[in-house]
Amino acid sequence: MSRANPKTVQALLKAHRIGIKKKYGQNFLIDDNILTKIVDAAALEASDVVVEIGPGLGGLTEHLIKRSSRVIAYEIDKHLIPTLEQHFAGPTFHLIHDDVLKRDIDEDIKQYAGDANDVIVVANLPYYITTPILMRCLESSKRIKRMVVMMQHEVARRITAMPDTKDYNALSIAVQYRAKATYRFKVPKSVFLPAPNVDSAVVRLDFHDKTQLPEDEETFFFAFVRAAFKQRRKTLLNNLTEFLSHEKAEIADMLDTLGIDGSRRAETLSIEDFIRLAAHFKSA
Q: What is the pLDDT of residue 39?
A: 96
Contacts 24+ apart (CB under 8 A), 20-26: 20/193, 20/194, 21/77, 24/54, 24/76, 24/77, 24/126, 25/126, 25/127, 25/128, 25/129, 26/56, 26/77, 26/126
Sign, Cα dihedral of 162, 168, 169, 174: negative
| Angle between helical axes of 105-113 and 130-140 (0-180°, round to 10) | 70
Give me the mean pLDDT over the 2-12 stretch.
85
Give me the mean pLDDT over the 204-221 stretch.
91
Q: What is the pLDDT of residue 146?
A: 97
* pLDDT 10s digits, 26-62: 888 999 999 999 999 999 999 999 999 999 999 999 9
Percentage, residues of the chain above pLDDT 70? 100
Please list the residues that pair with 93 across neighbouring strands. Answer: 71
pLDDT over 90 (residue 222): yes
Percentage, residues of the chain above pLDDT 90? 82
| 8 A C-beta contact, residue 27 and residue 87 | no
Q: What is the pLDDT of residue 212?
A: 86
Q: Is 195 helix (H, G, I), strand (E, B) or coil?
A: coil
Give me the mean pLDDT over the 173-198 stretch.
95
Q: Which regions of the chain does DSSP assign to beta strands (E)?
A: 28-29, 49-53, 70-75, 93-97, 119-124, 144-152, 179-187, 192-193, 200-207
Give me the mean pLDDT over the 143-172 stretch.
97
Q: What is the pLDDT of residue 15?
A: 84
Give 100's contacts (C-beta < 8 A, 6+ positions apart).
Answer: 53, 74, 76, 133, 136
Give 89's contacts (C-beta < 8 A, 6+ positions apart).
Answer: none
pLDDT over 80 (residue 22): no
Helix (H) or strand (E) holding 276: helix 271-283
Question: Domains of the chain by range and CATH?
Answer: 6-207 (3.40.50.150), 215-283 (1.10.8.100)
Q: In which band, very low, low, confident or very high, does the pLDDT at 23 lie, cut at 50, 70 and 90? A: confident
Q: What is the pLDDT of residue 28?
A: 87
What predicted TM-score, i.e. pTM, was given to this entire model? 0.92
* pLDDT 10s digits, 230-264: 999 999 999 999 999 999 999 999 999 999 999 99
* pLDDT 10s digits, 62-108: 999 999 999 999 999 999 999 999 999 999 999 999 999 999 999 99
Distance CA 178, CA 247 (A): 32
Distance CA 134, CA 218 (A): 17
